[in-house]
Each structure stands twice: as C-alpha cells, then as structure tokens.
Amino acid sequence: MKKRYWSIVMAVVAFGCASAQANNLLLNGSFELDSPTTGTTAPTNWNMTGYRGIVSAGYANGSTDGTNAMVFDNGTGSSTPPSGTHSAKIWQTVPTKPGKTYKLSFDWGAYHSSAYPQKLLVQVIGFASLVSNVYPAVGNDSPWTVWHSHVVGFVADSNHTTIVFADATDNGEVGSADGLLDNVVLVEEQFRVFNVDFSVNNPGSGGYTGFGAAPHGGTNWNNWAPGPKWDHNFSTPPFTATLTNLTDSYGFPGEVDLTLELFRPYDVGSSQGGMDAAVAPALMSDFFISSNVNDTAALTISGLDPTAIYDLYFYAQNGAYSNAITMFTVGSATKGVTNTVNASSFIEGENYVRFQSVKPNGSGQITGSAVTGLPGVNWVSWNGLQILEQPRPPEGMMIMIR
Ligand SMILES: [Ca+2]
Ligand SMILES: [Ca+2]
Ligand SMILES: [Ca+2]
C-alpha cells in the first residue's frame, strides 16, 4: 500500500514538472559536443553533406548558448574544400508522434560584411514536407555576429521527422561573411495556447505577434478587429460579436470560439493618439471597452474540451495612460489589474490577470465578464487574452495528494 501511494505521488510530480523543462529531441543542438574543428566533418549526432560546414568557437559574439556554433561556408576560395558553394546541409531524424504539435527554435546569425546577407533554409520533413522556410541574416562590423531567434511550429504526420538546416546563401559570397547556427531546440508542446488580440480596424492599428505571459507556445495571435475605434457617440450601437475557429499559437486551426457581448473597440496607440504601451504596443494600446463606463462586457469561450483544464490570461492596459482598473470575473473568482504604470513587461496583477485550472462546463464553455474597478471614472480596457489548454489530471490522482 505504501508503495502504491508513492508511485501515485511521483506521477503527479512528473505531471507538474512536464511543463517546465521539456526535453530537446535533437541531440547536440548547441554544437557543444565537438572540439571546434577547421575541417568539414559533420557535427556529432548530425548528418552533413556539401561544404563548407564547421563547428567553431572562434567568432566574435559567435554563440548564443555555450561556446560553439555551427558555421556555414567559412574560409576563402583557396580553402580545401573552397568557400563559395554554400552547399553545406546538416540534418537529424527524430521520433515524433503523429498529430502532436512541436516547436522548433533556433538562433541564426551572420558574421561580418553586411554586403553579403547569409540565408538559412529550414526544412521539416515527415510523411510530407511540413516546413520549408528561408531565413536571411545580415552581418555587421560590430558586434560582428548579428543574431536572430526564430520559432517555427509543426504538427507531426509521421513517427519520424527530419529537421534540416541548409546554407541557402545565393549572392556568391566568398570569404566576406559567414552564417552561424546555434541553440537548436525541438520540443513536443505539452499544451495548446490560443491567443486573441482585441483590436480596431483603423489604418495603422495593428495585430500583435509575439509571446505573452503564458508559458510555451508560438507567436501567432488572432487579430480581432470587428470595427473602427468608437467615435464617442453613444447612439453608435455597441458590438456583440463572435470570433470563430481561433487558430492556435502556431497558426494551426482549432475549434475554439469567442463571443463578447456589449463592447466597443478603442485605441490610444500610435495611429490613434500616440499613447503606446511600453510592452507589446500592438496588443496593449488598443482594447475593447464596455458599452458605457460602468457597464459589464460578457465573454463566452466555447468549443473547449470538457475533459481539459484551462489557464486564462486577460490583458488590461490602456496604452501609456495606465490609469484603467479592469476587474475580471470567471466563475466565482474576481481579479483586477492595478495598472499603475506604463509597464515595460507583462506583470501579473499590474497589466494582466490569470485564472488557473478553470474547468469548462459539460458543453465545453467557460463564461466570464469585465467591469471597471473605477466606477464613473474610467472604463474597462481589455486588450486580449490567452487560453492555455492542458489535460485534466485524473480525479482519483488528486484525492491522493495531502
Ligand atoms: Ca552552442
Ligand atoms: Ca562565407
Ligand atoms: Ca491590437
């Protein structure tokens, strides 16, 4: 009996930790396993064809993780083999689960001459070709290597998937600039995340792309712009609208819908008054307000999995003004932001609130609402939300915890 109890506790601990440190499915993704070489041998655990490709620690600002990076087409025309073909290609094949979402992230940089941009072809190949993207990078004399971080998501369609990085530089560069690759990480996403940016459809107002406060996920946001910025005319009817089939944070189609009742789009950002928020201005400077200053806006999220649990992140910042207190209610819980400053990062309780482990009803719906915390003084400012979906642990497992 004692042993049984222990094993159940361990299962819960493992579940709790699964989100924090997912394992890299690629081996030697930071290219740290080799002593830097000047030859053209494949890095440990990678396959390689073409040339030139080396592992190096000798570049200024030449890595983003550890000390080594993979360098494409180093050397000169008199190197053996010569620089200039830009034909090096490295790849690994890893086990994957069909239907699961994966996140591939990597840093790609160019060393030295800005006159010769370097290009990297990234391919993900399962049963079909899942990804084929080219990423340019432009170097500089200082800081010598200019890095960019990239994230790409895919849904596996096979029990094995091949990840390919190939030099795609096509400007004939020889001996003037090099391409550097580091910090390649492939993980299976444990959660799905749906992001929605509440926007206006005025020219110059934009949808956000990037990370929010929720852990994990890609950078895709559903940009919901149902109408222009409210014209301050109360005879303009407020909106009641539904956004259907949200795409997830990688842009893959989902089945989640949002309905918001009695709201008005509003914007104080660069194109509509110039009061941009310091953090994520495309998200945090435009927002939905309620139909009148003290009115409540009601939210219904539908199409959810009744067997899953959801963490909800609600964003509330009225651009650089930072003087709107928005109170959100989900179920019996009410949480508000303080919105005291034009914060330069996402701060829980300051510019967003989080409701954890919310269970949908049997029809797969969660309802909530927003109302001002400054009655008669200032309005709701609701910038958007993130919906993080995770499997619900078995009920019996929770009972054993004490
Ligand atoms: Ca490295
Ligand atoms: Ca080169
Ligand atoms: Ca927006």
Question: Which of the ligands is closest to the CA of residue 79?
Answer: 2
pLDDT < 50: residue spans in the chain: 1-21, 398-402
Residue type, 154: F
Domain 23-188, what fold? Jelly Rolls (2.60.120)
Residue type, 165: F
Position of tokens 């909106």?
239
For the record, the structure tokens of 193 come out as 């995340």
On whether the CB atoms of residues 171 and 116 are closer than 8 A, the answer is: yes
Which residue, among 297, 317, 316, has the nearest Cα to 241 in the 3D structure? 297
What's the confidence (pLDDT) of residue 253?
A: 86
Position of tokens 């008054």?
273
What's the confidence (pLDDT) of residue 7?
A: 34
Question: Which of the ligands is closest to the CA of residue 181?
Answer: 1
Cβ neighbours of 398 (radius 10 Å): 10
The pLDDT tens digits of the residues spanning 322-371 come to 999 999 999 999 999 999 999 999 999 999 999 999 999 999 999 999 99
What's the confidence (pLDDT) of residue 393?
A: 74
On whether the CB atoms of residues 167 and 180 are closer than 8 A, the answer is: no
CA distance 384 to 193: 13
CA distance 402 to 397: 11
Q: Say how many Å lie between the CA of residue 29 and the centre of ligand 1.
A: 7
Could you check whether the bond before residue 264 is cis, i.e. omega within 30 degrees of 0?
Answer: no
Question: Which of the ligands is closest to the CA of residue 208?
Answer: 3
Total residues found in the chain within this entry: 402
| Pairing, β 192-198 against β 222-224 | parallel
Q: Say how many Å lie between the CA of residue 113 and the centre of ligand 2.
A: 10
Over the Cα atoms of the chain, what is R_g? 25
Residue type, 127: F
What's the confidence (pLDDT) of residue 217?
A: 74
CA distance 286 to 316: 10
Question: Which of the ligands is closest to the CA of residue 112?
Answer: 2
For the record, the structure tokens of 265 come out as 């789009």
Q: Say how many Å lie between the CA of residue 42 and the centre of ligand 2.
A: 18
Q: Say how many Å lie between the CA of residue 315 and the centre of ligand 2.
A: 45
Helix (H, G, I), strand (E, B) or coil at 89: strand
Question: Which of the ligands is closest to the CA of residue 286?
Answer: 3
Burial class, 222, CB count within 10 angstroms (exposed 0-12 / middle 13-18 / buried 19+): buried
Q: Say how many Å lie between the CA of residue 203 and the centre of ligand 2.
A: 42
From first CA to last CA, the distance across the chain in angstroms is 16
Question: Which of the ligands is closest to the CA of residue 107?
Answer: 1
For the record, the structure tokens of 168 come out as 């795609």
Instruction: Name residues with Cβ closer than 5 Å to ligand 3, which is an ion.
Output: 197, 199, 282, 286
CA distances to 23, 24, 164, 187, 216 from 104, rounded to whole Å, are 12, 9, 11, 7, 12
Q: Say how many Å lie between the CA of residue 389 and the centre of ligand 3.
A: 23
pTM surpassing 0.75? Answer: no
What's the confidence (pLDDT) of residue 11?
A: 35
CA distance 88 to 387: 41
